[in-house]
Structure 1
C-alpha cells in the first residue's frame, strides 16, 4: 500500500480531489492533506510520502519550490502537478525538476486514476529493482558460485559466446579470454564418526583453508562443492600471469598436510591444466576420472598427465588358498594374507578401480561358497546397514577394501562358530517359535531369522530336539492350548485363534489327533 499527500491552497479543491476516486482500490492506504508548502514539509517530517499531488500556484512558496525541496530531501517521492493554466513554461520547469506528470484542473476522475496508476507502477518497479539490487549485493557470492557450477555441469553450454551471454545476463564480469586452472579436492575418508551436519561444517573449513592457501599465489580463487566429499577450486589466471605449476603443487602439499590434524580426514588433490573457460567442464571430467582410479594413494597432490609411478598392471590373486583357509577356520590368517597381498600389489603394480571391482566380487564369491557349505544364507547375514555400507565403499580404495574384508570375514567367523554350536542355535529357534506361536510362520520365515537354509535348520533341530521346525511349532501350540483349556474359561474358538489356528474344525481335528480328545472333552476331563 502507498501514501498520498494532496497539497493545494484551496480547501475546496483538496476535498474535491480527495473524493474524486476510490483510493483504496488504487492501493492508497492513507491520504494526507496540506494547504501550503510549510504544512506539506511538516507532513513529510512525520510520514513517508510515496506520491505528492500538488498545485503549482500557491502563495509564498509555489508548488515548484516545494518540488525542489522534496527532490533534495525525499527523492523517492513521485510528484504530480495540478494547475488551472496550460502554461508550457510551468510544464517544462516541472519536468526539469522531476515531476512525473502535469494535470489541468478540473480533474476528470479517469485522468486522475490513470496518472496515479502510472505513479504506483513506477514506484513498484523501482522498489523491485532496489530489492533486486540488495539481493544481488547480499547474495553475490552465491550467484558467482552458481555461475561456475553451471559451467562445470554444462548448464551453460561449453562455448565462449554462451558463457559471455550468461555473464551479461547475470551481471558478472570476467575477461572472456581469461584462462582457468581447476583443482579437484577429494576427501577419501574421515577419521571421526561424523553426522552429515558435522561433515558440512568441516567441508566449509576445508574450502576456506584451500582458498587461503591458493590465494597465496596472488590469484582469484572460486571454491565450489561438486558432491559429497568433493570440492573444486577454480583459479582465475590473467593472460600475462606466468604460471608455476610446481609452486601450485607445493602450496597444495602444505594444505594437504594440515588437513589430517585440523579436519580429521585423508584427502588428495588433482591439478588440471590451464585452459579457457569453455574447456573447464572437460578438464574437470578428467580430474574426476583420475580421482576415481586412485585407489592406492592418499594425502598427496597429483598433476594431470603425470605418468603412473608403476606401469605394470596389477594381477588378480589366486583365491583358492584363501578359500581353503576359510573352510578350515583360519579367518584371521586370511585377513593377514589379504593385507600382505594388497600392500605388495600397491608397491609393485598399478591398481585402478576396475581391479578393485573384480577383487571385491571374487572375494565375495569365496565367502558365499563357505557360507553355503555351512547352510547359511549370505544375503541375509550381510543385509545389515553396516555390511551394506562397507560393501558399497569397498572399491573406493585399498584401505576401504581392507576394512570391508575384515568386517565380512569376522562376521562370517562369528556366525559360523555360533551355528556350529548347534545346541545354541536350536535354543534360539525354540525361543523364537515360543514367542511367535500365534503367527502363521513358514519354515522359510523362521529360517530367515537365523540366516540359515530351512532344510539345514530342520536337520539341526532334529539332531538336538528330535523334531523339525513345523513339528515343534505344532507342539508349542498344543501345549499352550491345553493350558488355556485347563486353566481358563476361554471359549474353544478363542483358544484356537489365540494359538494361531483360526479354523476351528482344523484345530479340533489336530487336537484330537495328538491329544486323543477333542478340546471340549479335554476341558471336561480337566
Structure 2
C-alpha cells in the first residue's frame, strides 16, 4: 500500500482532494494533509511518503522550494504539482526538478485520479526493478569479490587474440600485474557454451544471470576442490581455465561430475541450456589454438544439449554424406508459389524431424540446407518482383543462428516462408494487372515459348482483353514489349560481357540466330556484332 501527502495552504482545497478521489482503489492506504512547507517536511521525515500532490504558491514558501528539498532528502517521492498559475517559468522549473505532472486548478477528479494512477504505476515499476537488483546483487558482489580481474582480462585478451600468442608477449602482459609466467606451465581449457536461454531476457537480466553463472561455477569449484578461472569470452561462450599445476591433479571423471552438476543447476535455476567441451592441457601460448578447436567442436554439435563432451584424442572418420535423405525441393518450391504456408512448414518440420535422428547430421549439412532454401525463396521473390534484403534485414539474428541446431534452422525457415508469402501478398494487392504482367515477362525472358496466352493465363484474363488493356496503358503491344525487353537485355550482355552472340541469343529466348540478328537490327539499327564494336557499347 502507498501513502499520499497533499500540500496546499487552502484547507478546503486540501480536504476536497482528500475526499474527492477514491484513493483506496488506487492502493493508497493513508492520506496526509499539510498546509505549509514546514509541516510537509516533518511528515516526509517521519512517514514513508510515496506520492505528493503539491500547490506552488503558498504564504510560507513555494512548492518548488519544497520539491528541491524533497529531491535531496527523499528522492523516491513522486510529485504532482497542482496550481492555479499557468506560468511557463513555474512549469519549466517543475520539469527541471523532475515532477511527474503539472496540473492546473480546477481539475476534474477523474483526471486527477488518472494522473495519480500513472504516477503510482511508475512507483510500482521502480520498486520492482529495485527488488530485482537486490535479488541478484549478492551474486554480483560474490563474483566480483572472488574474481582476480587482471587474470580474467589476460585470458580474455589472449583467447580473443588481442595479444599475440607468443611467450614473449604473454610474459610482458603478465609482468604488468606482477604475475609470474613459466613457459612450461600448462592449463586445461573447458569451453562452456550457452546454447539457449529458456525465457526472453532483456540485456540487463542476461547480465545478471551471467553473474549468477559465474557464482555457481565458483561455488562448485570450491566444493570439488578444483582451482579454476571462468572467463567470459562473449555473450554465449565462457572458458573455464584449470591450472595443470593445481595442488591435486584434476581427474577427468571428477571434472565431468562438476560440469554435469553445473549444467543441472543452470537448467533448473538460471534459465539456460549449456554444453561443456573439455579440451587438452596446453601451454598458454598454445591456448588459442586449443580454444579454436573447441569452438569448432561446438559448431559441429547440432544435436546434443546439456552434455559434457571430451575432445577426441583421434581424428574421427569422415561421414558418408551421400546417404542423407534429399529434401523434396521442387515440391516445396511449388507449395511456396501457391502460398501454402502451413502445408510447406509442416512438410519442412516433418523432414527435419527425420534428419535430426540421423547420427551423421552435422553443421555443414545444415548450412547446405539453409542455402538451398534461400535459393528457393530468392527465386520466388524474384518472380514477385521483390527485393530480399527489404524483407530479411530485420531478422539477421535468426539467420545467424540457423546452423546452430535443427530447432534454430526451423525457426529461420518459418521466418523465410511466412515473411516471403506475406510480402508477396501485400505486393499483389498494390500491383495493377499491367505491372504483374511486366514482372512475369521479366522473369520469363529466357523462355523461347513465352506467348500472349501464357501471360494472360498468369493474370487470369482473356488474351484479347489483356492485349487491349496493356496497349492502352503502355502504348505497346505485348509482343513488342517482350521483344523490347529482350533487346534491352541483349544490349546489356553485349556491352558488359564477352559472351558469343550465339550464346546471348539463346540466353534471351532465341533458338535461331538469324531471327535474333534480324530483330536486334530492327530495334537498334545495328547488327549485334556492329553494336558490340560501336562507341555506344562503352556508354
Q: TM-score, normalised by structure 1?
A: 0.50
Instruction: Specify every segment of 5 or more residues in structure 2 that has no aligned partner in the other structure, as ranges.
Output: 1-143, 444-454, 475-539
The verdict on how the C-alpha distance between 1:371 and 1:204 changes in structure 2, with shifts beyond 3 A counting, is same
Max radius of gyration: which structure? 1
SS at match of 2:242: strand
Q: Does the alignment pair 1:405 with 2:418? A: no
Q: Runs of 4+ in structure 1 displaced over 6 angstroms? A: 137-140, 306-310, 424-427, 459-463, 466-471
Which of 377, 381, 394 aligns to 1:367? It is 377
Structure 1 residue matching 2:238: 3-state secondary structure = strand
Q: Aligned equivalents of 1:267 and 1:201: distance in 2?
A: 17
Q: Aligned in 2, Cα 1:200/1:140: closer, same or farther, shift over 3 Å?
A: closer
Kindly state the Cα deviation for residue 404 of structure 1 after the two structures are TM-superposed.
0.8
CA gap of 1:245–1:309, structure 2 versus 1, over 3 A, is farther
Alpha carbons 1:310, 1:350 under 8 Å: kept: no
Of the three residues 231, 249, 262, the one matched with 1:224 is 231
- 2:242 pairs with one of 235, 240, 244: 235
1:325 aligns with 2:335: yes
Given candidates 391, 404, 412, the residue that maps to 2:399 is 391
Aligned residues between the structures: 309
CA distance in 1, matches of 2:253, 2:146: 35
Aligned equivalent of 2:348: 338
Q: Structure 1 residues 469, 347: closer, same or farther in 2, change over 3 A?
A: farther
Q: Confirm whether residue 214 of structure 1 aligns to residue 221 of structure 2.
A: yes
Indicate the residue corresponding to 2:295 in structure 1. Answer: 288
Between 1:409-418 and 1:395-404, the stretch displaced more is 409-418
1:190 pairs, out of 189, 197, 211, with 197
2:160–2:233 Cα contact (<8 Å) kept: no
Q: Is the 8 A contact 1:207 1:223 kept in 2?
A: yes
| Aligned CA distance change for structure 1 residues 413 and 469 (closer, same or farther; 3 Å) | farther
2:185 to 158, 165, 178: 178
Give matches, 1:201-280, under 5 Å: 201-238=208-245, 241-280=248-287
Q: Which runs of 5+ in 1 are unaligned?
A: 1-136, 428-442, 472-526
Determine the structure 1 residue equivalent to 2:148: 141
User: Per-residue CA shift, 1:351-376, capped at 9, x if unaligned?
Assistant: 33322222111101112223333x24
Task: Show the counterpart of 1:118.
Answer: none
Q: Deviations over 1:463-519 (max 9, x none)?
A: 8xx799999xxxxxxxxxxxxxxxxxxxxxxxxxxxxxxxxxxxxxxxxxxxxxxxx
Whole-angstrom CA distance in 1 between matches of 2:370 and 2:376: 10
Distance 1:301 1:256 in 2: 9
Deviation at 1:308, TM superposition (A): 6.7
Partner Cα distance (1:468, 1:253) in 2: 73
How far 1:329 moved relative to its partner?
Answer: 3.7
1:356 is aligned to 366
- Are 1:179 and 1:239, in contact at CA under 8 Å, matched by a contact in 2? no
d(CA) in 2 for partners of 1:287, 1:352: 15
Displacement of 1:303 in angstroms is 1.0
Contact 2:391/2:420, CA 8 A, preserved across alignment: no
C-alpha separation between the residues in 1 aligned to 2:355 and 2:366?
12
**Superposition deviation, residue 389 in structure 1:** 2.9
Q: Residue 328 and residue 202 in structure 1: after superposition, are their counterparts in 2 closer, same or farther (change >3 A)?
A: same
Q: CA deviation at 1:315?
A: 5.8
Q: Displacement of 1:275 after TM fit?
A: 2.2
Q: Aligned in 2, Cα 1:312/1:248: closer, same or farther, shift over 3 Å? A: farther
Deviations 1:98-135 (A, max 9, x none): xxxxxxxxxxxxxxxxxxxxxxxxxxxxxxxxxxxxxx
Q: TM-score, normalised by structure 2?
A: 0.49
1:62-141 matches, within 5 Å, as 141=148
The Cα of 1:408 is off from its aligned counterpart by 1.9
Is the 8 Å Cα contact of residues 226 and 250 (structure 2) preserved in structure 1?
no
Q: Is the 8 A contact 2:280 2:311 kept in 1?
A: yes
Per the alignment, residue 479 of structure 1 pairs with: none
2:513: which partner in 1? none
What is the CA–CA distance in structure 1 between the aligned matches of 2:274 and 2:147, rounded to whole Å? 30
Q: Which residue of 1 aligns with 2:422?
A: 414
Instruction: Tell me how far apart the structure 2 counterparts of residues 369 and 165 of structure 1 sit (CA, whole Å).
Output: 56
